[in-house]
A and B are shown apart, each in its own frame.
Chain A
């Protein structure tokens, strides 16, 4: 079957999709977007977390046919997504989860490459930067899903308690870090967001 949907603000079409394929498979194998990870394929690890019409879901449990006409945001589009949110609602969140990329912006969307192994020159969202800075990335396989989940939580709850962070990320397994640095990263992103909000409020 054929499936049309929007990924990271760009209209995409997949052909010859087997009816049992998941959104995860289509993203990874048909659209060249392998950032969402295939760790369990049973909704028990969160590594494939993407936003479907703004809502975090496990892409492995969405049938490809179910995304027809809908909007998907993956880790590859997270920086862009965060940038648009910031310009639409500076310093604030977007509780509705619908503030994705406008059609006009989507038409101007371009994939951004990296220019070296260290990815210098890449624009990152605050949560992505915080994960690097706090040492929350080891093998990195859980990272894309955690980033999507954490970013969405901070959008809803900009000043989370530790228990809030733990609850929001309880669907994302990490086997390397023991989660301490992941908590640090989310706290760091929240604090930076807070500081930025204060500064903008003061202007």
Chain B
């Protein structure tokens, strides 16, 4: 895997033993066998006797008043058990939302985007439900469309949301702006005078879809107590619960959620999709209701990555020192707020990239429009900025006649650097080093498509489509590096909860770890077992299914779960260990002085001293006692950014990755084949090296996708989605994905559990601009938009 350690603060275990299967080993997934045999129960696999199928009727227009809804024909159909509209909602609360409760459970008087849920049907077969939904007659009166910044902020602009009362309303310049975050540090105008060269650019980032493979789905089962049991795929059970219970008119304890198998997430499951709808239908009909979106509906069922327009200006002295940066980032949040405010915070605070620039003038806003709602996706605001500032670095290097990697290294931030928000980077920031590593890697051989039998088209742009046998093909190489914050920022109380129990089962000490962490594929369940083994010295660890019977774990997003829930598991294990040792001292303390004097560890099922002397078997210590502790754990607090200056210690940790992309471009047809995408990333401490590689390679590939093919295309005239299918929204196949060699650095962050660093998102940031840089290198074109289309490369 090419993993190498480097100089810097060595990673050391803060506690723990050398028990087999502990942290640092590539232990295998506990759910692996179930997943390869087809027995792992995903949310779409749920089944219940007598269950009904739910179907959602969605708006066919983007912005309209609902004049009337006639459900009578649908209700009259055989096999239909319920039809529901806004008027049937049971509680006072009729909206939900991650931060701002602006999203109606079912459209109320108005639809604000194409595909907004208008009505629900429950029927005995999915086809019956579909036919019934098709019989619901909705009369719309179309309203003017807000589709971009100009139409959103025009003097006579229609307001997407009338009468806003949210906390951002007081500081935004227009009600069609969700949130605005400026960051001012130093004096950019003054510093610009010191610049020998200045480069400006306008960049466009397309709307990316998470395209997780398991569509939104779940099963709601009405319970005898008037409550409901919900089996669902989500990223954050407790956040869902907080949004679901009020609109059902139920106390939270009557909505019991269990995490079902999650077929990927990538931010697309942070928001509510079918959860409330299934519960409503189940409570209405008294029967279990299953809802499964198909791929078409899935494109309307979750928020997407914010498309963005970014305007940048950088200056540098002739020897390459950055003088200043000004930027303006406009994110299209679509019809509902979702995570837009936090995305704005990230985009603005990370807009400078991993560079030292003292004088900056930054503004980021998110718009309300009638486009599809946008929110969380892997990289969360930092992705769009990275695409733009890295393009700027290459432009600047070209103008200075410098090597683009050298320019980056010259200005690279390091531990101790001040961010534009005034916050000190207080853990390793090996930006120059990771660039050096990807650059020093040997380049893949040229013309690998040539074989004795002719050109192997699988190795060429166009692939199996047989468009070139080498004609027009030019190689390009490009670099990029990025910075992503880890965990929730801006003063959010970011905590997790872990319940850990230790007991003897069948003559063996066993730990049970219970958290509400959503295992979305990332391997948190693997790591939790490793942590428990390391801290408690047991071999057997049972991972309890995630549900709402334990405290919140926070979201499986922001690269935070191994840090925060991993930290919570570690913390609870430590507390359990103390209890176990207390029991040991009580029972055996008098037999050996070391019980009182030595540092004691749990290792290989035994209590041992730090010198390695065995004091007791855990089986004898525990006997029939069990020790169980549920405890919350939180990382260092952060602060909100000042609304005028953007100053504040807003982030808790950063993650850095660098990429080198090698591409081959068919310059005549404008088709691209990425040959290699080399990565170097600092992970602090690789708790599970195999999973680390999987995260880095997966994140890299999503970045590749949005570089060359992925975009949800919204018709600017109608605000309708034009390609809601896997036929026309393309994600990379195995033939589009190159070799991804990974160089892993482990420089401990002393503030984090085991020194680890959140890893999931950083590789998604720099992958895209590296590919773009390589294509620019091959073609000499400016390319200010991603994804790059053949039209852009051929000027057609």
Contacts of B15 in A (CB 8 A): none
Asked, given contacts A74-B38, A75-B37, A119-B34, whether A141 binds B690 with beta carbons under 8 Å apart, the answer is no
Contact A39 B693, beta carbon cutoff 8 Å = no
Contacts of A41 in B (CB 8 A): 294-295
Contact A166 B29, beta carbon cutoff 8 Å = no
Partner of A139, one of B47, B215, B262, B701: B262
Partner of A18, one of B39, B127, B522: B127
Contact B213 A138, beta carbon cutoff 8 Å = no
List the count of A-B residue pairs having beta carbons below 8 Å apart.
204
Q: Does B644 contact A (CB under 8 A)?
A: no
Contacts of B542 in A (CB 8 A): 117
Chain B nearest Cβ from A124, distance in angstroms: 7
Asked, given contacts A41-B295, A75-B38, A138-B522, whether A177 binds B30 with beta carbons under 8 Å apart, the answer is no
Among residues 722 to 746 in chain B, which have CB atoms less than 8 Å away from a CB atom of chain A?
Answer: 725-727, 731, 733-735, 737, 739-740
Contact A141 B740, beta carbon cutoff 8 Å = no
Contact A167 B458, beta carbon cutoff 8 Å = yes
Partner of B731, one of A124, A137, A167, A175: A175
Chain B nearest Cβ from A61, distance in angstroms: 13
Partner of A138, one of B45, B127, B523, B740: B523
Q: Does B140 contact A (CB under 8 A)?
A: no
Query: How long is the Cα–Cα vector from A166 to B456 in the complex, in angstroms?
Result: 13
Contacts of A105 in B (CB 8 A): none
Partner of A177, one of B36, B263, B698, B726: B698
Query: How long is the Cα–Cα vector from A131 to B694 in the complex, in angstroms?
Result: 13
Contact A175 B264, beta carbon cutoff 8 Å = yes
Contact B213 A47, beta carbon cutoff 8 Å = yes
What interface size band does chain A fall in? 35 or more
Asked, given contacts A40-B295, A117-B30, A140-B261, whether A170 binds B212 with beta carbons under 8 Å apart, the answer is no
Asked, given contacts A117-B543, A138-B521, A179-B701, whether A170 binds B214 with beta carbons under 8 Å apart, the answer is no
Contact A119 B37, beta carbon cutoff 8 Å = yes
Asked, given contacts A167-B458, A178-B740, whether A142 binds B213 with beta carbons under 8 Å apart, the answer is yes
Q: Interface 1/0s, chain A 110-148, versus B by CB < 8 A?
A: 000010011110101000110111010111111110010
Asked, given contacts A170-B464, A176-B264, A177-B697, whether A39 binds B295 with beta carbons under 8 Å apart, the answer is yes
Contact B694 A33, beta carbon cutoff 8 Å = no
Contacts of B266 in A (CB 8 A): 175
Asked, given contacts A33-B38, A117-B31, A179-B734, whether A42 binds B726 with beta carbons under 8 Å apart, the answer is yes
Among residues 155 to 185 in chain A, which have CB atoms less than 8 Å away from a CB atom of chain B?
Answer: 163, 165-167, 169-183
Contact A34 B33, beta carbon cutoff 8 Å = no
Contact B213 A45, beta carbon cutoff 8 Å = yes
Q: Does B42 contact A (CB under 8 A)?
A: yes
Q: Does B700 contact A (CB under 8 A)?
A: yes
Report the nearest B residue to A180, measured CB to CB.
Answer: B697
Contact B28 A180, beta carbon cutoff 8 Å = no
Contacts of B725 in A (CB 8 A): 40, 42, 44
Say what secondary structure dominates the interface of chain A: loop
Query: How long is the Cα–Cα vector from A175 to B35 in the complex, in angstroms?
Result: 16
Asked, given contacts A117-B31, A175-B211, whether A34 binds B45 with beta carbons under 8 Å apart, the answer is yes
Contacts of A20 in B (CB 8 A): 127
Query: How long is the Cα–Cα vector from A76 to B26 in the complex, in angstroms?
Result: 27
Query: How long is the Cα–Cα vector from A149 to B203 in the complex, in angstroms?
Result: 41
Contact A175 B212, beta carbon cutoff 8 Å = yes
Contact B213 A141, beta carbon cutoff 8 Å = yes
Contact B213 A139, beta carbon cutoff 8 Å = yes
Contact A178 B33, beta carbon cutoff 8 Å = no
Contact B261 A180, beta carbon cutoff 8 Å = no
Contact A170 B733, beta carbon cutoff 8 Å = yes
Chain B nearest Cβ from A59, distance in angstroms: 12
Report the nearest A residue to B703, measured CB to CB.
Answer: A178
Q: Interface 1/0s, chain B 508-530, versus A by CB < 8 A?
A: 00000000000011110000000
Chain B nearest Cβ from A150, distance in angstroms: 11
Query: How long is the Cα–Cα vector from A34 to B701 in the complex, in angstroms?
Result: 28
Contact A175 B693, beta carbon cutoff 8 Å = no
Report the nearest B residue to A123, measured CB to CB.
Answer: B37
Contacts of B29 in A (CB 8 A): 132, 137
Contact B214 A139, beta carbon cutoff 8 Å = yes
Q: Does B32 contact A (CB under 8 A)?
A: yes
Report the nearest A residue to B742, measured CB to CB.
Answer: A180
Among residues 34 to 54 in chain A, which have CB atoms less than 8 Å away from a CB atom of chain B?
Answer: 34-42, 44-45, 47
Contact A29 B262, beta carbon cutoff 8 Å = no
Contact B33 A132, beta carbon cutoff 8 Å = yes
Chain B nearest Cβ from A70, distance in angstroms: 20
Contact A147 B215, beta carbon cutoff 8 Å = no
Which one of A33, A44, A45, A118 has the highest number of Cβ atoms from chain B below 10 Å of its Cβ? A118
11 A-B residue pairs with Cβ-Cβ distance under 8 Å, sorted by A, are A32-B47, A35-B37, A44-B727, A120-B33, A131-B32, A139-B214, A167-B464, A169-B734, A172-B733, A174-B734, A177-B694
Given pairs A37-B263, A139-B262, 16 additional interface contacts (CB within 8 A): A32-B47, A34-B44, A42-B726, A42-B727, A47-B213, A117-B31, A117-B542, A135-B691, A139-B212, A139-B521, A140-B261, A140-B263, A141-B263, A144-B38, A178-B699, A179-B737
Shortest 6 CB-CB distances between A and B: which pairs?
A: A35-B38, A119-B33, A139-B521, A178-B697, A141-B263, A140-B35
